[in-house]
Structure 1
Amino acid sequence: MVLIETFRKLALSLHNVAEEPHFEKTSFRINKKIFATFDGKNNTAVLKLNEIDQSVFCASSEMIFYPVPNKWGKQGWTIVELSKVRPEMFEDALIRSYENVASKKK
């Protein structure tokens, strides 16, 4: 289980991350681009994974990780059930999301 305090601490420990509101959610950004959001109402995160990472996380833990059910999911946006995910697995996915977005050109 990952609490918002843990999520926030992990995200903000990454280089040059900013926390900003995003509609009814909290977003974490690198170079003004979102790599993660937190939805407190549903206790979920959404991470921007590349195709391979999304496939691996979803295949190994399909009740915890699953693509957003629309065109965003096909672009790598992946829902994470924070009440079910192990902290180490979430940290790994969060770092991969950060690296995926940080490596894109500004």
Structure 2
Amino acid sequence: MASTESFVRIAMAQPGTVAGPHFDRTAFKVKRTFATLAADGLSANLKFTPEEQEFKCMVAPEIFQAIDNGWGRQGWTTILIVPASDDDIAAALTMAHAHAVAKTRK
């Protein structure tokens, strides 16, 4: 079982990542935001491709949920921290981070 502290530690371990306020959340970004942590620390939103989102939500619906709005249709996905393992979080953050890094190179 993961914790808010492990989520932050893993997010900040992604190369070039900085954290800052984003409305009532904490954003993790490399030029572009790839994750936002809810103020209560119980969930975070991650930027996947729509295909990655579909796969994650199908394989682990107890951990991943598509956001039900326009952001969700772009791939933004909620991860529930408590049922996730540190490995689940690391894999998801690495995937989301890769998209933010790719955007900075264009």
Q: C-alpha distance in 1, partners of 2:93/2:67? A: 16
Number of residue pairs the alignment of both structures matches: 105
Specify the code of the residue in structure 2 equivalent to 1:7: F
Unaligned runs of 5+ in 1: none
**Aligned-pair distance for 1:52?**
2.0
CA RMSD, Structure 1 to Structure 2 (Å): 1.4
Give the AA of the match of 1:56.
Answer: F
Alignment TM-score, normalising by the size of structure 1:
0.91
Matches of 1:6 and 1:37 in 2, distance apart? 14
Which stretches in structure 2 are left out of the alignment for 5+ residues?
none
| Superposed structure 1 runs of 4+ greater than 4 Å apart | none
> Shift in Å at residue 42 of structure 1?
6.0
TM (norm. structure 2) is 0.91
SS in 2 for 1:103: helix
Q: Write out per-residue CA displacement over residues 35-69 of structure 1, whole angstroms, 9 at most, x where no aligned residue.
A: 00111326101000012211111000112101111
Q: Does 1:28 align with 2:61?
A: no
The alignment-based identity, stated in percent, is 29
The alpha carbon displacement at 1:9 in A equals 1.1
42 and 10 in structure 1: CA distance in 2 versus 1, 3 angstrom threshold: closer
